[in-house]
């Protein structure tokens, strides 16, 4: 009798067949339970692995007990079956350790901005899907339908936002990357570039597609890819004589199935037609898409405003359009339209999914300058959608503005816990730790990023910034040069290297490098950073008139891409430069013009300009008059990050009134809040010198020189300390160092004149 006859006689094929049938039924039943009760989809795989792994035991038991009659347990069974069970247990532990095999939802308690607490059932983070939506390609070549390229991902994003099991992102967060790669409008990207961008955005899946409008019919191809290896997960085609709004409803349901959302959940979850959420007017949708493109990819705020208002003229109930209108109006410093838009967005927010309603409420409270309620809304969103990365990023931003750095870092850490692939937030964590003066912790974050991305320039520039702050200038230069090898045309790296030359005392070399970088800057955004560095170098070297020239170039360049409110803010930030150049009346005229334009909620920004001019003029009365206005700005907008400016102004006013013993602890408080502000060491040291505490004065100034070894004002102040102590020779050396930096300063530059007089007094 051969082996097959023996197996048949012992009914092994019969038993195994029945077992496989039962196993299939069990797997189907488990799948039904998963869909019906929204359980973990891992349960299906768990059941499959367990049942298949038990097949050896089933076969062995069938072999020894398949024939009629009673048989006892054999030695082979006593060894093989337990071994199989142990192996199965080990396999299940390896494959499913850390995976949630329970319900796919959880219950959380949330507290709203009014203090009311409720319980909500939400999906667990492990079971939510994250998808990046790219613009669709227009294959028909009809430019009149180009607006659909951005319109489809907008519509899909809005429709899918209803479902808490899925989170979508669009390319509006990738504008800088797209511009750098030569696709400023985000259109017609090669598939390889889409995969690369999705990988950089740490999106595990992305949607790419195309459409054509031919003979009044729209045909759409929707492809879902796994980012890793660009594997095609699903490919679907749609055609309709209806408009794209109606067709999107079909596309979004299919996409939810394709990404793996439970079928029962899809059937039971709220899924309003897109026309009820967005707009039923195709023309209104077209204008909305055009507005989005204008402000996101073209930075054309006027065109964006006109397009969104055209959309609202056709459908005034479109809450999304009101939100976009609010953002455009707010950054355009258009208070009337901003208030109308946010009020209308709140009025029609019933059309919005819950996650988006949180965004509207936050903006509503922000505009009303109710900072604590805005923060409460952001915290509630995170409580309710604990794996919503965008919600956590928003909360981290609010914490940062309030100078709650540990809380902000906790949110970024939570983002990494939700999705460890989002390593870009290691850079944010490192920057926050660096700002806190915790350089060791910052280095840890930056090094983790560098280990993950050894071919990215930022991996080296971040580490180089720490080396510079710790006084290792040659090491920083080497690290910056490594970054430049990776990307020779990177303007930011060139600016960093040129700035390093300034810190090493090689001003002309730094100036030459910056001027070359300015000539080679490929876009206005790149020249912005170069002009900022040129202005800073010119001002420090006593060339205030040249610094004004760079400021005006910067303001002219930035008009092409910055919103109006940012332009006004930049003008305020340049006022002290005008004062340093002796153009005091002009500074006050600019401030007056800016204040006339500023509208709520930014109408208090002008006080920053008053404070800057007063501090530059060393006018104690004017400083004290400006501080309450700045404090009101901080309270209204919740921007405690501006508090160091208030402290520094308060301390300077006290110093000007010869009350240095009171000024020193306030300067120190400002330094504690902003540990990398080297100039505060100078302020504290100067006050100690005025009090006659020369040892403490010298120590403080040398601390500043450790990170800015050729800062001329520090050398001048240290020379005064040394001269008071009687160390004339070293005092002369420091005066000469300061005067070397000020060699080409403007005629009559006050500090250079004082240094010359002190040098002459000491016989240098």
State the average pLDDT for the chain: 86
For 465-481, write each residue's pLDDT tens digit. Answer: 999 988 898 899 999 99
Q: Which residues contact 158 (CB under 8 A, 6 or more apart)?
A: 274, 277, 278, 320
Q: State yes or no: pLDDT of 731 exceeds 80.
A: yes
Task: Answer whether residue 695 shows pLDDT above 90.
Answer: yes
For 405-424, write each residue's pLDDT tens digit. Answer: 999 999 999 888 877 777 88
Query: Cα–chain-centroid distance for residue 396?
Result: 9
Q: How far apart are CA 247 and CA 267, in angstroms?
A: 18
Instruction: For CA atoms 67, 73, 75, 80, give the dihedral sign.
Output: positive
Phi-psi category of residue 692: left, alpha or beta, with phi > 0 → left and psi -120 to 50 → alpha:
left
pLDDT of residue 143: 86
In the prediction, which pLDDT does 11 show?
A: 66
pLDDT confidence tier of residue 399, bands split at 50, 70 and 90: very high
**How many Å apart are CA 449 and CA 430, to the nearest integer?**
9
What per-residue confidence (pLDDT) applies to 88? Answer: 64
pLDDT tops 70 at residue 371: yes
DSSP state of 144: G
**For residue 120, how far is the Cα from the chain centroid?**
28
| Residue 466 pLDDT | 92
pLDDT number for residue 608:
95
- Percent of the chain whose pLDDT exceeds 70: 86
Q: How many other C-beta atoms are found inside a 10 Å radius of the C-beta of residue 237?
A: 10
Q: Region 676-682: what's the mean pLDDT?
A: 92
Q: Is 9's pLDDT higher than 80?
A: no
Q: What ranges do the domains of the chain cover? A: 3-96, 134-277, 279-352
Q: What is the 3-state secondary structure (H, E, C) of 79-131?
A: HHHHHHHHHHHHHHHHHHCCCCCCECEEEEEEECCCCCEEEEEEECHHHCEEE
Express each pLDDT in 552-576 by its tens digit: 999 999 888 888 999 999 999 999 9
pLDDT at 8: 64
Instruction: Give the residue-averaged pLDDT of 263-281.
Output: 81
Mean pLDDT of 329-340: 90
Instruction: Quick: pLDDT tens for 69-108.
Output: 556 666 666 677 777 777 766 766 666 666 665 555 555 5
Q: What does R_g of the chain's alpha carbons equal in angstroms?
A: 33
pLDDT tier at 10, thresholds 50, 70, 90? low
Say whether 279-352 and 134-277 share the same fold: no
Question: Measured between alpha carbons, how far is 662 from 104 in angstroms, rounded to an integer?
Answer: 59
Mean pLDDT check: name the lowest of 342-346, 559-563, 603-607, 657-661: 559-563
Give the model confidence (pLDDT) of 587-618 as tens digits: 999 999 999 999 888 889 999 999 999 999 99
pLDDT for 611: 97
Instruction: Tell me which architecture the domain covering 279-352 has in CATH.
Output: Alpha Horseshoe (1.25)
* pLDDT tens per residue, range 228-248: 888 899 999 999 876 788 899
Task: Taking residues 129-141, report their average pLDDT.
Answer: 89
What is the predicted pLDDT for the residue at 89? 67
pLDDT of residue 562: 86
Q: Please state, in angstroms and rounded to a whole number, the distance separating the CA atoms of residues 186 and 599.
A: 33
User: Which of 300-314, 502-516, 652-666 shows the lowest mean pLDDT across its residues?
Assistant: 502-516
pLDDT band at 519 (very low <50, low <70, confident <90, very high): confident
- Given the candidates 2.70.180.20, 3.30.1360.120, 3.40.50.10610, 2.60.40.420, the CATH classification of the domain at 134-277 is 3.40.50.10610
Which residues are CB-contacts of 744 (< 8 A; sequence separation ≥ 6)?
541, 542, 543
- Give the model's pLDDT for residue 67: 65
pTM value is 0.75
SS3 content of the chain, % helix, strand, coil (to 5): 70, 10, 25
pLDDT of residue 12: 64
Q: Is the pLDDT of residue 513 over 70?
A: yes
The residue among 647 and 91 whose pLDDT is bigger is: 647
Please give the residue that has the higher pLDDT: either 508 or 338: 338
Average pLDDT estimate for 296-318 = 93
Give the whole-number percent of the chain exceeding pLDDT 90.
50
What's the confidence (pLDDT) of residue 183? 87
What mean pLDDT comes out for the span 140-146?
A: 86
Tens digit of each residue's pLDDT (9 = 90 or more) over 166-197: 888 888 878 878 887 888 888 889 999 999 88
Cα→Cα distances 19→16, 53, 55, 72, Å: 5, 12, 8, 22
Q: Where residue 40 falls among pLDDT bands split at 50, 70, 90?
A: low
The phi and psi torsions of 617 (rounded to 5 degrees) equal -85, -5
């Amino acid at each position: 009798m051969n082996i097959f006859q023996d197996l048949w006689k012992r009914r092994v094929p019969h038993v195994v067949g029945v077992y496989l049938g039962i196993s299939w039924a069990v797997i189907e039943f488990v799948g039904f339970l998963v869909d019906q009760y929204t359980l973990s989809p891992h349960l299906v795989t768990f059941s499959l692995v367990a049942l298949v792994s038990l097949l050896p035991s089933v076969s062995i038991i069938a072999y020894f007990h398949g024939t009629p009659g009673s048989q006892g347990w054999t030695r082979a069974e006593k060894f093989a079956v337990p071994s199989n069970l142990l192996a199965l247990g080990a396999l299940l532990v390896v494959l499913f350790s850390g995976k949630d095999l329970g319900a796919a939802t959880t219950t959380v308690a949330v507290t709203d901005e009014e203090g009311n607490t409720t319980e909500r059932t939400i999906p667990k983070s492990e079971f939510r899907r994250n998808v990046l939506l790219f613009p669709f390609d227009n294959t028909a070549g009809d430019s009149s339908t180009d607006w659909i390229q951005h319109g489809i991902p907008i519509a899909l994003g809005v429709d899918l936002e209803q479902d808490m099991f899925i989170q979508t992102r669009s390319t509006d967060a990738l504008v800088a990357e797209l511009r750098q790669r030569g696709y400023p409008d985000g259109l017609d990207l090669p598939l390889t570039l889409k995969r690369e961008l999705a990988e950089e955005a740490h999106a595990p899946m992305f949607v790419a597609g195309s459409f054509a409008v031919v003979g009044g019919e729209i045909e759409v191809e929707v492809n879902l890819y796994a980012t890793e290896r660009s594997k095609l997960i699903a490919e679907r085609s749609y055609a309709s004589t209806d408009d794209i709004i109606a067709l999107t409803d079909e596309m979004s349901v299919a996409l939810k199935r394709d990404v793996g959302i439970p079928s029962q959940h899809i059937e039971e979850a709220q899924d309003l037609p897109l026309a009820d959420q967005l707009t039923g007017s195709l023309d209104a949708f077209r204008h909305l898409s055009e507005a989005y493109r204008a402000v996101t990819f073209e930075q054309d705020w006027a065109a964006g405003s006109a397009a969104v208002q055209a959309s609202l003229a056709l459908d005034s109930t479109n809450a999304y359009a009101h939100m976009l209108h609010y953002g455009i109006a707010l950054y355009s410093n258009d208070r009337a339209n901003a208030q109308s838009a946010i009020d209308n967005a709140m009025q029609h927010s019933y059309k919005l999914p819950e996650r988006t309603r949180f965004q509207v409420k936050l903006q509503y409270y922000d505009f009303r300058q109710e900072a604590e309620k805005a923060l409460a809304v952001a915290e509630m969103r995170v409580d309710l959608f604990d794996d919503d990365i965008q919600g956590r990023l928003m909360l981290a931003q609010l914490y940062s503005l309030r100078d709650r750095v540990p809380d902000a870092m906790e949110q970024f850490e939570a983002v990494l816990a939700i999705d460890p692939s989002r390593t870009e937030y290691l850079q944010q964590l490192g920057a926050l730790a660096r700002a806190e003066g915790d350089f060791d912790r910052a280095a840890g974050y930056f090094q983790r990023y560098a280990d993950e991305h050894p071919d990215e320039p930022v991996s080296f520039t971040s580490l180089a910034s720490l080396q510079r702050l710790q006084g290792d200038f040659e090491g920083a230069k080497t690290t910056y040069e490594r970054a430049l090898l990776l990307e020779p045309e990177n303007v930011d790296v060139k600016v960093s290297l040129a700035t390093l030359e300034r810190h090493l005392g090689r001003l002309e070399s730094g100036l030459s490098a910056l001027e070359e970088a300015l000539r080679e800057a490929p876009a206005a955004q790149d020249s912005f950073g170069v002009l900022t560095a040129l202005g800073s170098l010119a001002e420090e070297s006593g060339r205030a008139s040249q610094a004004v020239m760079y400021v005006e170039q910067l303001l002219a360049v930035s008009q092409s891409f910055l919103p109006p409110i940012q332009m006004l803010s930049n003008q305020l930030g340049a006022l002290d430069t005008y004062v340093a150049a002796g153009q005091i009346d002009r500074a006050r005229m600019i401030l007056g013009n800016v204040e006339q334009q500023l509208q709520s909620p930014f109408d208090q920004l002008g006080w920053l300009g008053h404070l800057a001019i007063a501090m530059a003029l060393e006018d104690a009365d004017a400083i004290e008059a400006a501080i309450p206005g700045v404090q009101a700005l901080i309270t209204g907008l919740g921007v405690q990050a501006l508090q160091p400016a208030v402290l520094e102004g308060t301390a300077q006013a006290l110093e000007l009134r010869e009350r240095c013993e009171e000024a020193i602890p306030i300067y120190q408080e400002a330094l504690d809040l902003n540990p990398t502000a080297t100039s505060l060491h100078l302020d504290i040291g100067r006050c100690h010198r005025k009090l006659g505490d020369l040892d403490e004065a010298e120590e403080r100034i040398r601390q500043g020189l450790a990170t800015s070894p050729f800062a001329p004002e520090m050398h001048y102040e240290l020379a005064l300390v040394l001269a008071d102590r009687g160390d004339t020779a070293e005092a002369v050396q420091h005066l000469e160092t300061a005067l070397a930096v000020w060699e080409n300063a403007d005629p009559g530059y006050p500090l250079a004149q004082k240094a010359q007089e002190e040098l002459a007094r000491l016989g240098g």
